[in-house]
Structure 1
Amino acid sequence: MGKSSFWYVAGLVFVAAVWGTNFGISRLAMDTFDPALFTFLRFGLAVPFFFIILKIREGSIGVSFKTALLLMVIGLFGVTMLEIAAMYSIKYTTLANASLLSVAPWPIFAALLAPLFYREPVSSRLLAGGAAAIVGVSLVIVGGGEGLDLSSQNMLGNALAFATSVIGALFNLACMPLMKQYSALRVSAWFILFGSLFMFPLTLGSWGKVDWAGLTAANGFAILYNVLFCTVIAFVVWNSCMFKIGAARSNFFRYVVPAAAVAAGYVLFGEQITVWQIAGALCMAGGLVWISLEPKKRLPDKSVPM
């Protein structure tokens, strides 16, 4: 793995760790904000940052009308529907179910569906490393003691969690061709704008329920972390690295998310880490290292600045 590839992999791991840590940080704000409102604040407040940075870095912010229509659809599915499905999957099933059914299949669907969007080979190294990472992430999630519960009362949440993996994979893949024409920053700015607009009507009944005058420093930190780190920085870094590494390989690094979530639970809430979770983290890390050591066989047709 070359020096440039190392930094792309490091970027993917960094973003996945940021997203995983956010499980614990966002939990601190859930007593104050309705989940839909908090999600809207995360993306809606990030929109001005995206466009200000875009104007400073690239001198313009526009996209073609055809591209805007595509980004509108991507925002609807990849931000509004994906985030809402994820939110309600947690409400209607166990955290272990939601994590496993949404995180584990996502990279598999990304690899299987990649030929529909562009040509990206799936190698034996990717399959072997991916299998090890799947086993590892399953141990991290299920080994926490809550276990996998497939009882009938959890089926709606299970279905929503599984749907997020399909929608998420399609969302990532749909962005790839656009990043041959526009930068990751520009693509991210526009689909997050559209996703926020579609999400806003879902929050109309929640604004009056918040004691805005009584917001704490912890609430402010949770919002700031979600806006700047989990959205502005994370989406640009992830999309830029994914464009260079490839969607199939990149999405396996999402398995760092539940491991980081477990670590955040330990640090913030004193949750215990089991031997099975440690073993799973090591297995997952081994699989991801194995994937990252493979040189990318297909290069993008055109390099686009971030």
Structure 2
Amino acid sequence: MKQDRKWLYYLGLVIVAAVWGANFGVTRKAMETFDPILFTFLRFSLSLPLLLLLLKIKEGSVGVSLRSLLHFAIIGLVGITGLEIIVVYSIKYTTLANASLLNVAPWPIFAAIFGPLFMRERISQRLVAGGAAAMIGVCFVILGGGEGFNMSSDHMIGNLLALSVSIIGALYNLACMPLMKRYSALRVSTWIIVFGVLFMFPLTLGSWGKVDWSGLTIGHYSAVLYNVVICTVIAFSIWNASMFQIGAARANFFRYVVPAAAVAVGYVFFNERISLWQLAGTLFMAAGLVWISLEKRGSEPPASIKKAV
């Protein structure tokens, strides 16, 4: 990976994480009208025609080999259907602070732990130091808000679900890496979503009739459009391509931008307070991520792999 292009991949990770963080506010408004699982299904199902069209235009075909279908199906079931539903219910059964912290903070740690099972990634001292600084920073961002962190028994189910998001999410990211040795990031994203949508559809059957479709406003359509085009079609493709070039362990630490972006959106659109602890945490997190990004990787993907991304 050329050093002059390295910054494009890191920038891509930051922008995507910020987009996903902003989506907390967008989704919060949409949940007032849509069932959570139905809204998630709409997000991914409506993105599929765009992904398939983009794949056809860019690469000339949309298919994958038969021997890869089972791999894609398992990742789609776990990483889209299962993971997205667990995220929804973790938020429902615990506080937003708990969900944000347990969903995000341990994710890169599990990615680093499980990484050797999928890819040959070196865990350097710089990565450990920068990752620790970023994790401390994101904890300040989340715990510095008004809700704090609550470990009461009333929230224990939600807390366990939120922690499982980090574990499953890390495994999901890492399981994508071998596929991206054979296919482009766009093709991998598309086929994972194909199976994720197929497995999610039966879970939405009881929700369609509960929506007042005639009463939907421009705001509702805008929320769906933002989720479909920005958060799914564009963001998934950029994240997977950047993650493949940077490495899963390093890339996943950039998820710490998500809660910082969510806090910023809450301040701008929902008049939520930003504390000095959150500002300090954002600076600490940014310093850790910059420290990670300054490291030179010892090896780069072979030329044949680069062409697929």
Q: TM-score range by the shorter chain?
A: over 0.9
| Aligned residues of 1:34 and 1:206 also touching (Cα < 8 A) | yes
Aligned with residue 306 of structure 2, among 278, 303, 306: 303
Matched, 1:232 2:264: no
Shift of 1:218: 0.7
Q: Number of residues paired by the alignment?
A: 306
Distance 1:14 1:216 in 2: 28
The equivalent of 2:289 in structure 1 is 288
Shift of 1:65: 1.1
TM-score norm. by structure 2 comes to 0.98
CA distance in 1: counterparts of 2:307 and 2:233, whole angstroms: 18
Q: Name the residue aligned to 2:96.
A: 95
Structure 1 position 155, deviation (Å): 0.7
Partner of 1:246: 247
Q: Which runs of 4+ in 1 moved over 4 A?
A: none
- What is the 5 A alignment of 1:27-66? 27-66=28-67
The whole-number CA distance in structure 2 between the counterparts of 1:268 and 1:25 is 10
Query: What is the CA–CA distance in structure 1 between the aligned matches of 2:307 and 2:210, rounded to whole Å?
Result: 44
Q: CA deviation at 1:118?
A: 1.4
Match of 2:10 in 1: 9
Residue by residue over 1:127-160, the C-alpha shift from the partner in whole angstroms, topping out at 9 and shown as x without a partner, is 0000000000000001102111111111110010
How many angstroms apart in 2 are the aligned matches of 1:267 and 1:42?
A: 24
- Bigger shift: 295-304 or 245-254? 295-304
SS at match of 1:28: helix
Question: Where does 1:94-133 land on structure 2 (aligned, <5 Å)?
Answer: 94-133=95-134
Matched, 1:170 2:167: no
Query: How far 1:298 sits from its partner (Å)?
Result: 2.7
Matched residue SS, 1:268: helix
- Cα deviation, 1:83-133, whole Å, max 9, x if unaligned, reads 000000000000000010110000000011010011000000000000000
State the 1:305 CA deviation.
3.6
Q: Does the 8 A contact of 1:182 with 1:304 survive in 2?
A: no
| Structure 2 CA distance for aligned equivalents of residues 99 and 86 of structure 1 | 10
Q: Distance in 2 between matches of 1:297 and 1:235?
A: 26
Paired residue secondary structure (1:177): helix
Q: Say if 2:181 and 2:308, in contact at 8 Å, map to a contact too.
A: no
The DSSP-based 3-state class of the residue aligned with 1:230 is helix
Supply the AA of the counterpart residue of 2:72: L
Structure 2: how far apart are the matches of 1:59 and 1:258? 38
Q: Deviations over 1:34-77 (max 9, x none)?
A: 11100000001001111111011111111111211100000000
Give distance in 2, aligned partners of 1:198 and 1:129: 38
Deviation at 1:267, TM superposition (A): 1.0
Shift of 1:304: 3.3
What is the aligned-residue identity percentage? 65
* Aligned 8 A contact 1:181 1:304 in 2: no
Q: Secondary structure at the match of 2:262?
A: helix
Query: Unaligned regions of 5+ residues in structure 2, if any?
Result: none
> What CA distance in whole angstroms lies between the structure 2 residues aligned with 1:178 and 1:300?
14
Q: Secondary structure at the match of 1:192?
A: helix
Q: TM-score, normalised by structure 1?
A: 0.99
Deviations 1:234-287 (A, max 9, x none): 000000000000000000000000000000111111111000000000000000
For the 8 Å contact 1:140–1:278, the answer to whether it is kept is yes
Determine the C-alpha separation between the residues in 2 that align with 1:225 and 1:27.
13
Secondary structure (helix, strand or coil) at the match of 1:176 reads: helix
Tell me if structure 2 keeps the 8 A contact 1:183–1:305: yes
Task: Compute the displacement of 1:2 (Å).
Answer: 2.2
List per-residue Cα deviations over 1:181-231 (Å, max 9, x = no partner). Answer: 100000000000100111111111110011111101110110000000000
SS in 2 for 1:161: helix
Q: Which amino acid aligns with 1:304?
A: K
- Once residues 198 and 299 of structure 2 are traced to their aligned partners in structure 1, the CA distance between those partners, rounded to angstroms, is 36
